[in-house]
Structures are given as C-alpha cells and as structure tokens.
Copies of this chain bind each other. A is one copy, B any other.
Amino acid sequence: MSASIHRLGDRRPPSLDPMLALVAHDMNLVNREILDRMQSDIPLIPELAGHLIAGGGKRMRPMLTLASAKLLGYPGNRHHRLAAAVEFIHTATLLHDDVVDSSDLRRGRRTANIIWGNPASVLVGDFLFSRSFELMVEDGSLKVLKILSNASAVIAEGEVNQLTAVRRIDLGEERYLDIIGAKTAALFAAACRIAAVVAERSEGDEAALDAYGRNLGIAFQLVDDALDYTSDAGTMGKDAGDDFREGKMTLPIILAYARADAEGRDFWQDAVLGRRNSDEDFAEAVRRIQATRAVDDTLARARHYGQRAIDALGRFESGAAKDAMIEAVEFAVARAF
C-alpha cells in the first residue's frame, strides 16, 4: 500500500469524467442488463421504467459499484448484474419519492407520476424493487442479499423518518443527518461494499468502501439540499425552492433557524408550516440563509464528509481507479460553487 494524502481542492476543476471513463465499458454491459431486465409482458412496465431509466440519470450508484470493483482489480463480471440491481432499487425509490412528494419535474423532465399517474408509479416501483431481488438471487450471494436488503429497509425507514419530519422547525442537525444517512447514504455505501464482496476481499476492505460510499452519499445529499437555495430549475433539473415550499427540513433551514433571532425564528416557523410559500417568501428565505451563512456552512459540512470519503480510500493502491474515485468526491462537493 502506498501513502495517500489527498486534500480537497488540490486540483481544479474536479470532474466526473475520469470515473465515467474508468467504468465506460462496464457501464455499457450494466445498461444492457438494465434494459434487458426491466422488460415485461405488460407494456406499461418497460414504458414507465424506461422513461426514468433512460432519462439522463448519472447512474451514480452502479458507477460506484463498478469503480470500486476496478479499485480492487476484480476480474469477473458478477458486478454488472448487481450494479443493475442497485440501479433498480434506486429507480424504485425515485418513483415512490415522486409520488410521496407529488413532484412534477425530475432531471428536467416530467415525472412518471405526472405522465402515468400515481398508481402506475407505485406499482412499477414495486416491480423494479422485486426484480432487483431476483437479480441478486441469480447472483447467489447471501452476503450481497443481506447488504442490499438491509440497505433497502434502511432507505424506507429514512423516507418515513423524513416524512414525519416535514414542517418540523425543531428538527435539528442530528436527526437530519440520520435521515440523509438512511435515505441516501445507505445505498451509496452498499453499492461500494458489494464490490468488495464479489472480489472476495477482507472485512476491512468492505468497511473502507462502505465508509467511502456513505460519506460521499452524505456529502452528495448536503450539496443537493444546498442547491435548492442557490440554483434554478435549468441547472438542477428540478425546481429551486421545492424543498422550501414543501416544508422539507434540510440543513440550510436548520442552520438558518438555529442562528436566527426571535423575528427570524418566527419567519422560519411560518415558512415550514406553509404560511409563506410565494416567490417573494422564497427570495426572503434565500436572503436569510445567506445572511446566516447557512448554505456556506452546509457546503462546509459536505466538504467534511467528502474528506472522510477520500481518507477512507487510504488503504487502497494508488492508480487510475483511486484517482477517479477521489475526483468524483471533489466533483460532488464542488457542484455548488
């Protein structure tokens, strides 16, 4: 093992391109598996699933499985099917999320629930989720099944936790971190960890890749939540201010509230209860978030987790795979700058 000291910001501008190049060949095989296994005799299933799956997603999670396998020098092909299973789990949660949030826009396109209705989105999500387990069973590793069934349960718990946290101004940073650790970071962690399982590496390697994925997932979600207060629909693929209008408690609001005076706390209390959801109210929210440095510090938190993700890779050999995985973290936390 070589020494490994990387700090965020060593290079500019960070890009996802090295990771995309690293996994390009494998990703073609994963995409073939995805398209093949979302088929069904019921035409609505591939039609609806294909809308989201072909809809310009970055395939972050399967990409992490593939990159982790590269990092470990895994020579086989089991990870292609498992990466497809991971993407199916993710796609199922997106379909259900859009129903839960009544979203009308994702990745800049109309959501499936708007086009085909909530019932179809719920049921096709269920199908993809079941299909993901069929793929895992075909692979045959109980260890992988345990990792991904546990991640799926944790994701669902995180989603319910988030649902019960909506419009609760007193949520606090700790519970917010619990929520995003479950709803986002758990699948990032599992996607990386299963590469170590198929490569038959040590528990230590498994844990390190889990930590890389988990911390990257938290950083990724923190930046996403910051973008809701800094971006617009064009750059983000969803509507800026959506979280604000839904009363979703994310770290920018949590920090702005914690740092506000009595008048500011009243504003936030009203806002998350839905009493302030005009465009002017959103502009006012952005001003208050800037005044309290709440987005800046949300991004600082993201860099903290990003650094932890990078340091979790310390035990692995240097090389193109490791460099790409490091730069992917830098890219994730740099999106908002």
Q: Which residues of A line the B interface, CB within 8 A?
A: 40-45, 92-93, 96, 99-101, 118-120, 122-124, 126-127, 129-131, 133-134, 136-137, 140, 142, 145-146, 149-150, 152-153, 155-157, 159-161, 163-164
Contacts of A122 in B (CB 8 A): 96, 99-100, 122
**Are B137 and A146 neighbours in the complex by a CB distance under 8 Å?**
yes
**Are B160 and A134 neighbours in the complex by a CB distance under 8 Å?**
no
Cα distance, A179 to B314, chains bound together (Å) = 53
**Are A123 and B42 neighbours in the complex by a CB distance under 8 Å?**
no
Set B119, B133, B140, B160: member contacting A123, Cβ < 8 A: B160
Best-buried of A96, A120, A150, A157 by chain B (most CB within 10 Å) = A157
* A118-B99, A164-B42 known; A149-B123 Cβ under 8 A: no
**Are B100 and A123 neighbours in the complex by a CB distance under 8 Å?**
yes
**Are A96 and B126 neighbours in the complex by a CB distance under 8 Å?**
yes
**Are A124 and B160 neighbours in the complex by a CB distance under 8 Å?**
yes
Further pairs besides A100-B122, A126-B152, A134-B150: 11, Cβ < 8 Å: A42-B161, A44-B160, A44-B164, A45-B157, A100-B118, A100-B123, A119-B163, A120-B163, A129-B129, A130-B155, A137-B142
Cα distance, A136 to B142, chains bound together (Å) = 10
Best-buried of A137, A153, A155, A156 by chain B (most CB within 10 Å) = A156
**Are B96 and A156 neighbours in the complex by a CB distance under 8 Å?**
no
**Minimum distance in angstroms from A134 CB to a CB of chain B:** 5
**Are A149 and B137 neighbours in the complex by a CB distance under 8 Å?**
yes
Contacts of A129 in B (CB 8 A): 126, 129, 152, 156
Cα distance, A152 to B146, chains bound together (Å) = 18
**Are B118 and A130 neighbours in the complex by a CB distance under 8 Å?**
no
Cα distance, A44 to B157, chains bound together (Å) = 10
Set B126, B145, B163: member contacting A137, Cβ < 8 A: B145
Contacts of A164 in B (CB 8 A): 42-44
**Minimum distance in angstroms from A27 CB to a CB of chain B:** 24
Name which residue of chain B comes closest to A117, CB basis: B163
Best-buried of A92, A99, A149, A159 by chain B (most CB within 10 Å) = A149
Contacts of A152 in B (CB 8 A): 126, 129-130, 133
